[in-house]
Chains A and B, each alone.
Chain A
Amino acid sequence: MAAQDAPDLVDELLAGKHRALARAITRIENRSPGYRDLVAALYPHTGGADVIGITGSPGSGKSTLVDKIAKAYRDRGLTVGVIAVDPSSPFTGGAVLGDRIRMASTATDMDVFFRSMSARGSLGGLSTATADAVKALDAFGKDKIIIETVGAGQNEVDVVKTADTVAVLVPPSSGDDVQMLKAGILEIGDVFVVNKADLAGSDKTVTELKNMLDMREGEPGDWNPEVVETIANSGEGVTEFLDVLDAHTDWLDESGRRETKRHQRHAEELRNLLREDASELVEDELDARGGIDDLVERIDAGETTPYEVADDVVEPLADCLDQQRG
């Protein structure tokens, strides 16, 4: 198949061609020329899928759990899409994407579309790429879409924030109650999963999580996050976990929060795109001024500061916008 125009690709994707879906995600990931038109063309066909974000520390059992829930959804006759993000090397940009290995329960089932993605750490924009890949799966007609990402930092918070429902895996003995006070990943969970619940320390972790949740100040009508215990390897607790996911999906619809979330997501997407575009404009301006190195050399020599240079570069842009606004 030669390189093809976005419209063809979109038609083929909407017609259910796996190859076209795979190729569309590649374009989204690589930000190939025209990828924005592609996503824009997919937009009207999205909104039918429930998006579940799953995060947790390395080795907490995310992929194994994803395998089990994908299988459970397939048993219900639903189609599934998975985006699994693994870290990339800060040195070479390379990555080993090993989450597929765990997908034994649904091997050769093409109605589970599993896609591994590298975080491409240094290049940023991961949450945009995953959110757009989710749109491709959604437009393709997947009923349930799972985003799986290793949870450590801000990047992951941004990624799973794009999901409708967020599950956070907390392995047994994950530190003391002070860890539970920390901001970030523990604040975004709609459901907390203590996986490997057969290991020592899991009861204590469940208790600490529950205590953390009890201390929260919620608004009336908020979703109360739940804690479930699973042993993903054997499938134990998976049904209970799915029940909580379903309950959260129902709550989103009944409370009107799905619309609120969608609105926030759209705002976030718009902001990300504008940030990207604005920095592109500034990059062009830097090139026009002879490149960043010359400017930096002046900073090195103590002639100026980053702040002054930044002001200087952005000023014409700001002036131009001011004039436009009249």
Chain B
Amino acid sequence: MSHESQRNIRCLVAKVGLDGHDRGAHVITRAFRDAGFEVIYSGLHKAPEEIVQAAVQEDVDVLGISILSGAHNTLVPKVVEGLEAYDAFDDTLIIVGGIVPDEDREGLEEAGVDAIFGPGTPMEETIEFIRENVTRRD
């Protein structure tokens, strides 16, 4: 019997590191919610290990990392490494938002980030990117 499956895009909005500004993350969370996503919000000041734990357990399609502290070059690879340890890297779309200098972009993309959205990116652009690039599961 063919049961109608019900699938929503699941996304973890993660604040990693020491910066205490979550306004951007809140705005994104709400925009994703209004786009029909199921959004898990991590809360502030999370360690990479906590983000990995959440991403794996919640089985999210998308991991959105918001970093304003400048520590992205250290923190992002740690998250990627952790996801790899649980076989959760390949089919998780990783996007980064916040303040990322141009010269750091290439390095982050090489480390496994699928897209970087700087300040002023229209919300629709990010949502559209997720819809088009999310790995269809099951």
Binding site for B on A (CB under 8 A): 1, 3, 18-19, 22-23, 25-27, 29-33, 35-36, 88-89, 92-98, 100-101, 107-108, 110, 113-116, 118, 120, 123, 276-277, 280
Q: Which of B12-63 contact A (CB under 8 A)?
A: 29-30, 32-43, 46-47, 49-50, 53-54, 56-59
Binding site for A on B (CB under 8 A): 1-8, 10, 29-30, 32-43, 46-47, 49-50, 53-54, 56-59, 86-88, 90-91, 137-138
Complex Cα spacing A94 to B33, Å: 5
What residues on B are CB-neighbors of A32 within 8 Å?
A: 5, 7, 138
What residues on B are CB-neighbors of A93 within 8 Å?
A: 8, 36
Contact yes or no, B56 A100, CB < 8 A:
no
Complex Cα spacing A29 to B9, Å: 12
Of all chain B residues, the one with the shortest Cβ separation from A32 is B138
Contact yes or no, B57 A94, CB < 8 A:
no
Complex Cα spacing A108 to B54, Å: 9
- 23 residue pairs from A and B, CB less than 8 Å apart: A1-B87, A1-B90, A19-B88, A22-B59, A23-B59, A26-B59, A30-B7, A33-B138, A93-B8, A93-B36, A94-B35, A95-B8, A95-B38, A96-B39, A96-B41, A97-B39, A97-B41, A98-B43, A100-B40, A107-B49, A110-B53, A114-B57, A280-B3
Contact yes or no, A1 B138, CB < 8 A:
no
Contact yes or no, B59 A89, CB < 8 A:
no
Complex Cα spacing A168 to B71, Å: 43
Contact yes or no, A22 B57, CB < 8 A:
yes
Contact yes or no, B57 A113, CB < 8 A:
yes
Contact yes or no, B87 A116, CB < 8 A:
no
Q: Which interface residue of B4, B33, B49, B90 has the most chain A CB atoms within 10 A?
A: B33
Q: Helix, strand, loop or mixed for chain A's interface? A: mixed
A107 in complex: contacting residue of B50, B88, B91, B137, CB < 8 Å: B50
Contact yes or no, B33 A18, CB < 8 A:
no
Contact yes or no, B40 A97, CB < 8 A:
yes
With A30-B5, A89-B33, A94-B38 known as contacts, the answer to whether A100 contacts B43 (CB < 8 A) is yes
Contact yes or no, A94 B34, CB < 8 A:
yes
Complex Cα spacing A95 to B37, Å: 6
- Write the nearest CB–CB distance from A249 to chain B, whole angstroms: 25
What residues on B are CB-neighbors of A94 within 8 Å?
A: 8, 32-39
Instruction: Taking A96-B29, A108-B53, A118-B38 as given, write out 9 further A-B residue pairs in contact, using a Cβ cutoff of 8 Å, ordered by the A residue number.
Output: A26-B137, A31-B5, A31-B6, A97-B38, A100-B42, A101-B41, A101-B42, A107-B46, A110-B53
With A19-B88, A277-B1 known as contacts, the answer to whether A30 contacts B6 (CB < 8 A) is yes
